[in-house]
Structure formats: structure tokens, C-alpha cells
Chains A and B, each alone.
Chain A
Amino acid sequence: MKAKLLPCLILLLFILGSCHTKTDDYISKYCPGSCTVIKGKLTTDDRSKPLAGVMLEAKWVERDMLGFSSTTRRKATARTDANGNYELRFLLRDDELPQEYNYGNIIVEAHLDTKDYLICSGTNELFYSNDLVRDTTIEVNYNLPKKATINLQATNLETMQPTDNLYTGINSDAGDATKENDCVGGIIWSKYQSYYSLDVAANQDLTIRVVKNKAGIETVTEEIVRLKPGEKLHYQITF
């Protein structure tokens, strides 16, 4: 009896794993009316430079709770112009409108290499929403800086007592442009790990903030650095 379970399990996985459908919704792409519009501007660096020629894609994705099956409909594509402006215009179908038991989301993805650009989520996803409706326009601007790296090394951690703590934070201005410096990279140090690597925004002024709480005395130090795209900075912190 035990020997028969494995083929059943493989068959079950195969059946469940084969439920991913992906379709191109051209009726939505050439939206004939009642369109939903997502528009805005992409910038890079410290928001000073438009990001031109980036392909953006809006799609509707519905996944089941376990992720075994999903439905993806590509709804629209657009490329940013010389000023970084884009406009995604699409038609929401009835099953994509907000309703009870609707697990789908409209997702906007940027076709950018996440090895070169800092997108805070770590994926190409810029935006998602499950409550978009027809005949509406929303504006969303994004800052997508190029990526640099700060390699942080803390020394003297072995002297850290249970009541002591050490925190290092570096905030980059990346993502939704209505919020400033909302891409937070932070480390709470422990004596067990003395090295971390953080992806940060290039061509921006970054504040490395170190908060040290030692024997009941808190000291805060801040240093501003600016890195070039792809640059790796070694930064040492002493507890």
C-alpha cells in the first residue's frame, strides 16, 4: 500500500502544477471604452533624470492560496518616452473588478534588470492593486535608481552585552515617488554576525545612520555618502 502513494503524489503534483494559464488580452490592450488608465513618470538617480525607453506591462494575476494554479492575463504594455512618461490603458473584465472572493491583482511590472536597478521589492513589480475600477485614471510616479552596494563590517561585537544594541540604517529613495527615502535597508547587529551587504541607490546622497546603545548610553552618528552605479563601498562600524 505504501509503495502506491508515490505515483499518486507525483500524479497529483502534475495535475496541480499544470494549472498555470497565461493569455494575451488584446481586447484589453486596444481598450475600446470604459478604460482604466495608469500613467506617470519614471525617473532615476535622485529623481533628476527621466528613465526613457523602459517597457512597462500591466497584467492581471490570480493565484490560488497555495500557488499551485494561477491565471495571468497580459492587459497592456507601454514604453516610457524621452521624458520618462508612460501610460497604460486597458479594459478590466468583469472578473477582474473588485468583488468578494476575488484573489486577483492588477500588477505593473517594469522590464528592467534588477541586477542593475534598485527596485525595493527585489522583483520587477512596481505596483499592484485589487480595487481598480473602469473609467478611472490613476497617476503613479516611480524613482528607479541604479544599484550600488555597501558592504558593512562591525568590529568589537564580542563586547556586546544583552542590554546593548547596535543598529545601522541606510534609506534609498527608490519606488513610489510620493514617498521619500522609503526603501529602507537596516541591520540590527548581533555578536554572531559581523558582516552584511546592502543594495543601495547609486547617484544619490545616502545617509548611513549608526545608532549605538552601549551601557545605557545612546550615540547616533550619521555620514553621507554618494556611490556610482555598480560601486561597492566597504564601511566599517566599531561597537
Chain B
Amino acid sequence: MKKAILLLISCFLVIEAYAQDSTSYRSSIKVMYGSAAPTGEFGENRFENDYPPFAAFGSMLSLSYSYSIKPKLQVGGTVALRRNGFEETEFANPNDRIVGTIESEAWQSVFTMADVQYKWYARDGFFYVKGGAGLSFNRSLSYKVQTLFGPINRPTDNSTALAYGINTGMQFDIKRVGLGFDGGWLATSPTFSITDAHGKTTKYKQPMATINLSFYLAYSL
């Protein structure tokens, strides 16, 4: 146990010793792209619910800016676009002879977030933990499923909501350019309206949380 603690302390000392190069830049921008896996109620399709999410495994593209206010502490902002398509096979069996063509538009969210990031420097990069909060501008899933008995429509709606998230990752630096891997959780919970074929309008709150795994490219200014 003592050996392990000593080893850990030694590692941190080495990391601190090599931290000078990375800390010399005050700000950075990064472009990130990766997966967005629905989780919680966004990932569950309960038959009892009037409108299950049918959210498929999706993707997220984000652009971040960070500015150092202390050697290890940065503040900044992120703009992100997240899309999760229609999980068609959950809705209808692909071999269902009743079902014809399926057209759909994905769940879509644009996030504008303010971030706080804390870094632990390594010899050739750093680890970080980042938290953020802001607003999300969301568009709900829509689909039109043709069947032998007529179409099934789910119209779309737009809604704005608070958003929050937490990320962690690591970045490898080559001079001003950095390559990194990021893992995080991003959530929002907008309220949408939907009008069914009988003219009945229902409001429903849709938690939209995803677990995101991304690679990114960063540039230090």
C-alpha cells in the first residue's frame, strides 16, 4: 500500500515538473466529434408511455473555447450539436408486412454552455474534468410510417430547456496542437407538445441525456 502511494505521489511530482510547457498558453479552442448514447428515460422505450423516445445511438459535434484564469483552472464556452435518430426496429419489426416506408427526422439539440475546467498536467499533455451549464434548443423526433391501414404520424415540436453536463478526458499536446479523448454526460429535459390523429394535444416532458465518447482536435492560442 505504501509503495502504491509513493508511486502515485511520484507520478504527480513528475507531472508537475513537466507542466510548464502546457501552461504557457492562455487559451485554446477545440473541435470534438463522437458518439451520443441515449441513457436513462431517453434510452428506454416503455410501452405504457404515450410517446416513447425511440432514440437511436447518435452523434455529437461540438466547438469549445477555454481561457485560463489560473494555471490549472479554465473557464469557457461550448456550442454543441447532438442528433439521435429514430430507432425504427424498436418501433416495428423489419419483417412486418403491414409496414411500408418509414420517414423520420432525428431528435436534435443545440447546446450553448458555459464551462469550468480543471487540469492536471502531464509531461506531454493533461487530464481534465469539466462541468458546464447552459441552454439547449431542442427539436423532437418526428416520423411518418406508412402501413397497409394508413399512415402513423408523429409531428415534431421545438422547445428550449436548461442543460447541464460533466466531462472528463485527456489531451496529448504537440506544440500548439492537441489531440484528445473525452467522455461525458450531457442532459436536458425539454417539454414538447404533440397533437395526435384525433386532434388531442398532449404535453410531455422528455428527459434527453446521453453518454458521449468523443475524439477532439485542439489548438492553443
- Return the chain A residue nearest B92 by Cβ: A27
8 A Cβ contacts from B75-116 to A: 90-93, 96, 98-99
From known contacts A74-B47, A77-B48, infer whether A32 and B147 are also in contact, taking CB-CB under 8 Å: yes
Residue of A32, A55, A74 touching B151 (CB-CB under 8 A) = A32
A73 to chain B, nearest CB (A): 10
Residue of A23, A24, A91 touching B149 (CB-CB under 8 A) = A91
**Cα distance, A93 to B145, chains bound together (Å):** 17
8 A Cβ contacts from B6-57 to A: 45, 47-48
> How many residues belonging to A are interface residues under a CB distance threshold of 8 Å?
16
List of B residues within 8 angstroms of A91 by Cβ: 149
Name 10 A/B residue pairs within 8 A (Cβ), A-sorted.
Answer: A26-B91, A27-B91, A27-B145, A29-B47, A32-B145, A32-B150, A33-B147, A57-B48, A74-B47, A91-B149
> Is A235 an interface residue when CB atoms closer than 8 A count as contact?
no
- Known A34-B149, A74-B47; 6 more pairs at CB < 8 Å: A26-B90, A27-B92, A27-B145, A33-B147, A57-B48, A77-B48
B130 to chain A, nearest CB (A): 38
> Is A68 an interface residue when CB atoms closer than 8 A count as contact?
no
List of B residues within 8 angstroms of A24 by Cβ: 45, 47
> How many residues belonging to B are interface residues under a CB distance threshold of 8 Å?
16
Q: Do residues A33 and B150 form an inter-chain contact, with CB atoms below 8 A?
A: yes
Q: What string of 1s and 0s marks CB contacts (under 8 Å) between A25-52 and chain B?
A: 0110111111000000000000000000
**Cα distance, A137 to B147, chains bound together (Å):** 21
Residue of A23, A32, A34, A55 touching B48 (CB-CB under 8 A) = A55
> Is B152 an interface residue when CB atoms closer than 8 A count as contact?
yes
A86 to chain B, nearest CB (A): 13
From known contacts A27-B92, A27-B96, A27-B98, infer whether A32 and B47 are also in contact, taking CB-CB under 8 Å: no
Q: What string of 1s and 0s marks CB contacts (under 8 Å) between B127-147 and chain A?
A: 000000000000000000101
Q: Do residues A27 and B99 form an inter-chain contact, with CB atoms below 8 A?
A: yes
**Cα distance, A30 to B90, chains bound together (Å):** 14
Q: Which residues of A contact B (CB under 8 A)?
A: 23-24, 26-27, 29-34, 55, 57, 74, 77, 91, 93
Chain A contact residues, majority secondary structure: mixed
**Cα distance, A27 to B94, chains bound together (Å):** 12
A36 to chain B, nearest CB (A): 12
- Return the chain B residue nearest A93 by Cβ: B98
Residue of A23, A27, A74, A77 touching B152 (CB-CB under 8 A) = A27
List of B residues within 8 angstroms of A93 by Cβ: 98
- Return the chain A residue nearest B52 by Cβ: A26
**Cα distance, A29 to B47, chains bound together (Å):** 9
> What are the nearest 8 A-B pairs in CB distance?
A33-B150, A32-B150, A33-B149, A24-B47, A32-B149, A30-B152, A32-B147, A32-B152
- Return the chain B residue nearest A89 by Cβ: B198
List of A residues within 8 angstroms of B91 by Cβ: 26-27
List of A residues within 8 angstroms of B96 by Cβ: 27
**Cα distance, A34 to B147, chains bound together (Å):** 12
- Return the chain A residue nearest B45 by Cβ: A24
**Cα distance, A57 to B48, chains bound together (Å):** 8
B71 to chain A, nearest CB (A): 54
List of B residues within 8 angstroms of A31 by Cβ: 149
List of A residues within 8 angstroms of B147 by Cβ: 27, 32-33
A143 to chain B, nearest CB (A): 24
**Cα distance, A32 to B93, chains bound together (Å):** 16
**Cα distance, A77 to B48, chains bound together (Å):** 6
**Cα distance, A23 to B96, chains bound together (Å):** 13
Residue of B48, B92, B150 touching A26 (CB-CB under 8 A) = B92
- Return the chain B residue nearest A23 by Cβ: B93
List of A residues within 8 angstroms of B145 by Cβ: 27, 32
**Cα distance, A57 to B46, chains bound together (Å):** 13
**Cα distance, A55 to B48, chains bound together (Å):** 8
**Cα distance, A34 to B148, chains bound together (Å):** 10
From known contacts A26-B91, A27-B98, infer whether A77 and B149 are also in contact, taking CB-CB under 8 Å: no
List of A residues within 8 angstroms of B98 by Cβ: 27, 93
B189 to chain A, nearest CB (A): 22
